[in-house]
Amino acid sequence: MSIRVSNRQGLILLLVGLLAMNGVARAAQTPSTERLEYTFSYRGIFSGFLSMRIAKAIFILQPDGGRFAGRETRLAAMQVTTEPFGKAEMIYPIRYSYRSWLDREWRPLLVNEHLETDEVSEELLWFDREGARVCRYVKRPDPVAAVASLPPRELLEQAGIASQQGRFMEKAGQQPLAEDTPVWDYLSMLFYLRRAKLQAGSRLQLPVFNGKRFKHFQVEVTRERLQAGGWDRPAYRLDLSEKGRKRGIKTSIWISDDAQRVPLRFYAKRAFGAFDGVLDPDPAGSGDLSEAARESLKLVF
């Protein structure tokens, strides 16, 4: 392929599909770090309607994320790269990092999002529950003059952003947020789904804040056998739809029907194509997968 897409099109090609469905596996009653790796493929307009592998996504959960805002935290992270796939690198190389610090109740406190394409962008999303607000800070090309617009030092230190770099970040918006409001970011939403009592036929309502606006997702739960990417096992299928969005947009997640609740597959259909991400099997037992994932693989290999 020889097409080169614009910055906006490139984000649509990969990140819109991923961000609507990204999920980090929760630790399966173990203090160790959880790591799951997925291969994402795309089929649609940009690939001539042929299936094309485009990215590796690694999801990590560290049970100890340090203290932030006076609370013990967990650190959930997602890393996405097109580096292993030459065609995707040629069309639109992406290095993407999304980190979310969660309190012990799995609620988001701070999100750091970093994207490198032909440009570099960075954002901070602060769920200030004591201050009853959620604030968004974005990176600017020049230092910010107004001190009141800069992120608090505690945010920069938690995210590992140097003070000098922090001078280039500016407050871009603020929304009211009650301290006990059950609102999630994308990663904590998936934690909630994995810990929820899932039952075929049930429907869940989930409010999510993406930094710019609140989204209200409805999740329909069914139970089916997942047969994809080497997997053949019972799973819960979660179909997500956003209130107010037009039809034709589809997002589904398959979670293993066992105590571990491992995310096995993600699927997103958009007008320009479909994205499919499947948990990479590790039959050799290299140790890269979590104990929960390896336990699930015993049913396959």
Q: Reply yes or no on whether the pLDDT at 285 is more than 90.
A: no
Give the residue ranges of DSSP H helices in 100-246.
153-159, 163-166, 186-195
For the chain, the average pLDDT equals: 82
Q: Reply yes or no on whether the pLDDT at 10 is more than 60.
A: no
Average pLDDT over residues 87-102: 91
Q: Please state which of the ranges 106-110, 175-179, 184-188 shows the lowest mean pLDDT.
A: 175-179
pLDDT tens-digit readout, 78-93: 999 999 999 888 888 9
168 close to 142: Cβ distance less than 8 angstroms: yes
Residue with token string 């990204």? 22
Between 299 and 71, name the one with better pLDDT: 71
pLDDT tens-digit readout, 220-278: 999 999 988 888 889 999 999 888 766 667 889 999 998 888 899 999 888 888 999 99
Q: Is this model's pTM higher than 0.85 or not?
A: no
Average pLDDT over residues 71-84: 93
Query: 263 is written with which tokens?
Result: 């995310």
Query: 298 is written with which tokens?
Result: 């015993």
End-to-end Cα, the chain, rounded Å: 36
Task: Report the length, in residues, of the chain.
Answer: 301
Q: Give me the pLDDT at residue 118, please.
A: 84
Torsion of CA 80, 86, 91, 97, to 10 degrees: 10
CA atoms of 159 and 144, how far apart (whole Å): 19
Strand partners, 82: none
Residues 6+ apart with CB under 8 A from 168: 139, 140, 141, 142, 143, 144
91 backbone φψ class: left, alpha, beta (φ>0; ψ -120 to 50): alpha
Q: Give me the pLDDT at residue 298, please.
A: 43
